[in-house]
Structure 1
Amino acid sequence: MKIWKSLLIVLMVLVNLAFAQPSFADRPKFSKNPDYIEVTKALKELSKTKDAQTQVEGLTPEQIQKRTEELTLQKYALETGINWGQCDNQTGNTIAVYGKTPNDEEDEDAVYDNNLYFLANGQSTKNNWDCDGIYLANDVKVANFTSSPNGQGQELTGPAALKILDGTQLVIKTNPDTGAIDLNVPTVKVVNSKTANWFIPDISQAIINTRVTNAPTNQS
């Protein structure tokens, strides 16, 4: 009788393991992260450029080296499990940032995939809360913008939504000479209603400055 009880217990354990195994197999891997794939691809392209001693159009060897270093650290951050970005506002104004709800609860009635929050000057978004990107007002421009890790910088004028890669700390500053926005990372993506379900209004910086700041921050 004891033998049958023991066999029954073993059988139950095996059944539980059989059902539990898929949950481990379905855990997301950093190698499937679209940001990781893009960073890895960009690093390979830059490496080929350096090995062939050729020059990417519009980029100096110093710029290529800097982008390689930045992307290497970004790749490492994704490999070590940092799947969130951080936005640091040093513009002198309130800015609008994109991100999910702080408690990570999914709202079935939500119209958009993320929310638009307002971040005060001198503050950065909270650690472990994923700042997906920033909103660029219709009267604000970025002076040296690139949507490709190996691309040449260009000017971009809002309104626009700019997405950052996971593992990035985006520092946004205002150039005192030109009034344009300066970004510290080599690559941000412009998203629109065709590429992402984000709310992209056509509003000015003056309107943004009147909003109550509600972005999750390390100070809150």
Structure 2
Amino acid sequence: MKVWKSLLIALMIFANLAFAQPSFADRPKFSKNPDYIEVTKALNELSKTKDAQTQVQGLTPEEIQKRAEELTLQKYALETGINWGKCENQTGNTIAVYGKRPNDEDNEDAVYDNGLYFLANGQSTKDNWDCDGIYLPNDIKVANFTSSPNGQGEELTGPVALKILDGTQLVIKTNPDSGAIELNVPTVKVLNSNKANWFIPDISQAIIDTRVPNAPTKKS
């Protein structure tokens, strides 16, 4: 009788392991996330710069420290499983943001990798909905923009898509004096139709202002 009980317990343990293994295999590995690889590389480069006490492309030690701190938090967010970004609109106008459409992963006929949504002023996209980035119209500029964590700020004009890293909360504001867009994160990636399968139209801010806001937000 004891032998049968032992065999039964052994079979139960084996069955639990057999069913549990796929769940472990399916867990996303943050180390293979392109955003994580990019953040880690940039953070290592900034750390070497700080250790050598040298400047990078005109950046001051304070700017290097700020970017290193931002990248450290982005890396931590990815390591803890946050695989989505958030966009907050404080521009005074409607903006266009990119994000995944429902059932996109199961839709083999999808033309683009994500959808273009419209986010009203004063709104932010909801938690766990991945805001991939924002669209920059053809008549809007971004001030002090940098596409590299080790790069110096410059001016950028649309139309382009600006991609943010997972784990980032992007706040978009308008400079009241220049009218240019200002971003709170130290770096975003510039995409055009040749670099990504995103819908990047050549339109103005006035056209975007006529759209009905439909981005998933905290209040929706």
Q: Could you tell me the TM-score, scaled by structure 2's length?
A: 0.91
CA RMSD of aligned residues (A): 2.1
The secondary structure found in structure 2 opposite 1:127 is coil
Please tell me the residue identity of whatever aligns with 1:157.
T
Instruction: Quote the residue 1:160 is aligned against.
Output: 160
* Closer, same or farther: CA 219–26 of 1 in aligned 2, 3 Å: closer
Which structure 2 segments of 5+ residues have no match? none
Amino acid at match of 1:146: T
Conserved 8 A contact 2:92-2:121: yes
Native 8 Å contact 1:102 1:216 kept in 2: no
What is the CA–CA distance in structure 2 between the aligned matches of 1:53 and 1:112, rounded to whole Å? 44
Distance, in Å, in 2 between the alignment partners of 1:196 and 1:178 is: 30
Aligned partner of 2:127: which letter? N
Quote the residue 2:77 is aligned against: 77
Task: Report the 3-state secondary structure (helix = DSSP H, G, I; strand = E; otherwise coil) of the residue aligned with 1:218.
Answer: coil
Which residue identity is paired with 1:192?
N
Letter in 2 for 1:77: A
Residue 178 of structure 2 aligns with an amino acid whose one-letter code is T
Q: Measure how far apart 1:28 and its partner are.
A: 1.4
Q: Distance in 2 between matches of 1:16 and 1:219?
A: 41
Question: After alignment, is 65-74 or 84-93 more displaced?
Answer: 65-74
1:108 is aligned to 2:102: no
Distance 2:77 2:38 in 1: 14
**Offset of residue 144 of structure 1:** 1.0
Name the residue aligned to 2:194. 194
Structure 1 length as normaliser, TM-score?
0.91
CA contact (8 A) 2:89 2:122 kept: yes
State the distance in 2 between where 1:10 and 1:82 align.
Answer: 37
The corresponding residue for 2:27 is: 27
1:62 is matched with 62
The aligned amino acid for 2:126 is K
Q: How far off its partner does 1:102 sit?
A: 5.0
Question: For residues 178 and 68 of structure 1, what CA distance do their matches in structure 2 show?
Answer: 28
Amino-acid identity (%): 87
CA–CA separation in structure 2 for the residues paired with 1:104 and 1:3: 52
Aligned length: 220
Q: Distance in 2 between matches of 1:105 and 1:33?
A: 17
Tell me the distance in 1 between the aligned counterparts of 2:180 and 2:197: 27
- Structure 1 stretches of 5 or more lacking a match? none
